[in-house]
């Protein structure tokens, strides 16, 4: 019998009435390590109610007290993040150092949110009209929902909940059912940090749980991260129920390598950003666009470095772990079959892999495909695995056209030693996050994270000032204090004087 990962509401674990569960596997061994509860509509309502009940008191809690809890949470997280990294590796498969990196990037958002008193300041204008003052305040929305993907079970929720909570909202987090335990660990940490019960809740489940979050009138905003078809569905459904929505979708990130680039740096970067976390990153580089004469040397350098990677259990000395499920592994492998059939050159074949891990683990080695053309399915689809495609073009203009024609617009990078070319790319490329000689341009917490086109539905990116904006609504106040006199009767439209 394996344990069941439960929900969290009213400051404690909650089993729920639903008897439905889904298995959670350790991808490095293939073993089922837990079951996760799949909420019924009633379970979801109970968790939402917990967030609703906690909201008025939390909204009215002073900024001093709220930030004290955030600082305590930050200290606990910093001291104990190794525990969280182990949970992530066990359920997701990424190597421990990578899991630790994800937690640290999430921690940066907690640190940013500790500055919430400054971020919530409104404006004040004295004597906007004679003896009339005008000012604005930023207020919390209410209970908000966060629906997160499997690939960053700690960092992606942390893109949102530190700011949501700091701004006075209460939260229901619906993690991926593939790796649900990180969310519960974070809930326990909040409890220890002194967050009042009901401010941070976890709802485990699938579409049933998600649909209740999208439709329940108590939920005022939805932050979603996942694949593009689901992001579109979340955006359309939640906004048709009157909610504010930011829904971050899938990606197909290109790196453009110009002829004057430092090819050793570019090759290192392609390996790191192509195969890190087995390619299961929304900012992974999945297409290297080699411009002009660089292609042969670039492919050789990438292949040479990739051959040195150790594939295995993330708790051992490995560089790259397994894929998240057997089903996903088989799907990615089928893309490699298709690429080969459609004429791509298989330079490195991950279907043949000798991994340092369980014989039933979900292994697929790093794969390098050359001479990929934009019609092939390995190019058109988001594969979300350790597959790097090289597309050869003759000019910068062709490379730019390729990137801009892609329906996704999450991240991109350019490798060059020409500042003018880089500046032109930064200006002309239709992608939300751009790296210049930097392969995974994940913005710092004080900037905002988000793509363009089919990589984002809604108009607010995550964290940074856009995150503060998303989790607050602004009220504009115009006030007049009489000194002592009478305003007088005037039915005309108020004008300034
Ligand atoms: P997913 O879309 O399958 O699932 C995301 C969440 O939606 C999960 O919590 C899941 O339970 C829920 N969900 C799944 N199907 C649903 C349905 N039919 N109705 C309602 N809810 C549903 O994504 P995933 O496989 O967990 O994550 C990988 C995807 O996430 C990739 O496409 C990746 O690019 C994307 N991603 C994007 C970003 C970004 O910043 N743009 C970041 C991380 C991941």
Write out pLDDT tens, residues 21-75.
999 999 999 999 999 999 999 999 999 999 999 999 999 999 999 999 999 999 9
ipTM summary value: 0.98
CA distances from 342 to 290, 337, 348, 351, 374 (A): 20, 9, 16, 17, 11
DSSP three-state, residue 275: helix
Distance 149 CA to ligand 1 centre (A): 4
* Minimum-distance ligand 1 atom for the alpha carbon of 230: 2
CA distances from 244 to 257, 396, 410 (A): 39, 39, 21
* Minimum-distance ligand 1 atom for the alpha carbon of 174: 9
Could you tell me the pTM of the whole model? 0.97
Is 371 exposed, middle or buried, given 0-12, 13-18 or 19+ CB atoms closer than 10 A?
middle
**Tokens, residue 160:** 């949102």
HSE of 88 in the Cβ direction (CA atoms, 13 Å)? 28
**Per-residue confidence (pLDDT) for residue 490, from 0 to 100:** 82
Instruction: Indicate the top mutation candidate among 7, 149, 249, 443 to test ligand 1's pocket, ranked by most ligand atoms within 8 A of CB.
Output: 149
- Where do we find the tokens 């004290």? 68
Superfamily of structural domain 4-249+455-477: Aldehyde Dehydrogenase; Chain A, domain 1 (3.40.605.10)
Kind and range of the H or E run holding 303:
helix 295-306
Where in the chain are the domains?
A: 4-249+455-477, 253-436
**Tokens, residue 106:** 């999430």
Topology classification of domain 253-436? Aldehyde Dehydrogenase; Chain A, domain 2 (3.40.309)
Overall average pLDDT of the 417-425 stretch = 98
Q: Say whether 114 is catalytic.
A: no
Overall average pLDDT of the 5-11 stretch = 98
Which of 113, 282, 344, 376 is catalytic? The answer is 282
The rounded mean pLDDT for the chain is 97
| Cβ of 327 below 6 Å from ligand 1 | no
pLDDT tens sequence across 173-232 = 999 999 999 999 999 999 999 999 999 999 999 999 999 999 999 999 999 999 999 999
The residue whose C-alpha atom lies closest to atom 32 belonging to ligand 1 is 227
């Amino acid at each position: 019998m394996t344990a069941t990962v439960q929900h969290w509401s009213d400051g404690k674990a909650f089993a729920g009435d639903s008897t439905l569960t889904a298995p959670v596997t350790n991808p490095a061994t293939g073993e089922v390590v837990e079951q996760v509860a799949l909420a019924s509509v009633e379970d979801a309502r109970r968790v939402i109610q917990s967030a609703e009940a906690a909201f008025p008191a939390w909204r009215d809690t002073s900024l001093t007290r709220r930030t004290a809890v955030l600082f305590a949470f930050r200290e606990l997280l910093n001291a104990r993040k190794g525990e969280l990294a182990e949970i992530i590796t066990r359920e997701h498969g990424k190597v421990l150092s990578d899991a630790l990196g994800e937690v640290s990037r999430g921690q940066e958002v907690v640190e940013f949110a500790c500055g919430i008193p400054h971020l919530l300041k409104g404006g004040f204008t004295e004597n906007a009209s004679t003896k009339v003052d005008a000012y604005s305040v930023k207020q919390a929305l209410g209970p908000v929902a966060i629906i997160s993907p499997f690939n960053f079970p700690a960092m992606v929720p942390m893109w949102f909940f530190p700011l949501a909570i700091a701004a006075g909202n209460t939260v229901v987090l619906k993690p991926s059912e593939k790796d649900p335990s990180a969310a519960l660990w974070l809930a326990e940490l909040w409890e220890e940090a002194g967050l009042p019960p009901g401010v941070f809740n976890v709802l485990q489940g699938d579409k049933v749980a998600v649909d209740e979050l999208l439709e329940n009138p108590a939920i005022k905003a939805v932050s979603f991260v996942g694949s593009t078809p689901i992001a579109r569905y979340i955006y359309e459904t939640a906004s048709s129920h009157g909610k504010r929505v930011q829904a971050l979708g899938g990606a197909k990130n290109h790196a453009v390598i110009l002829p004057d680039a430092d090819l050793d740096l570019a090759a290192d970067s392609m390996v790191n950003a192509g195969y890190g976390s087995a390619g299961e990153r929304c900012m992974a580089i999945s297409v290297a666009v080699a411009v002009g004469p660089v292609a042969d040397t670039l492919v050789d350098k990438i292949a040479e470095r990739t051959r040195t990677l150790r594939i295995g259990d993330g708790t051992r000395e490995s560089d790259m772990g397994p894929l998240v499920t057997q089903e996903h592994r088989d799907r990615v492998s089928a893309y490699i079959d298709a690429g080969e059939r459609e004429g791509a050159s298989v330079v490195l074949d991950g279907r043949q892999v000798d991994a340092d891990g369980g014989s039933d683990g979900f292994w697929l080695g790093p794969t390098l495909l050359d001479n990929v053309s934009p019609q092939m399915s390995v190019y058109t689809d988001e594969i979300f695995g350790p597959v790097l495609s090289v597309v050869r073009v003759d000019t910068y203009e062709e490379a730019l056209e390729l990137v801009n024609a892609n329906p996704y617009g999450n991240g991109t990078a350019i490798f060059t030693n020409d500042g003018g070319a880089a500046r032109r790319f930064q200006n002309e490329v239709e992608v939300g996050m751009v790296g210049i000689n930097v392969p995974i341009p994940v913005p710092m917490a004080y900037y905002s994270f988000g793509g363009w086109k089919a990589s984002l539905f809604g108009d607010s990116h995550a964290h940074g000032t856009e995150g503060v904006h998303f989790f607050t609504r602004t009220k504009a106040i115009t006030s007049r204090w009489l000194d002592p006199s009478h305003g007088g009767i005037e039915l005309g439209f108020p004008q300034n004087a």
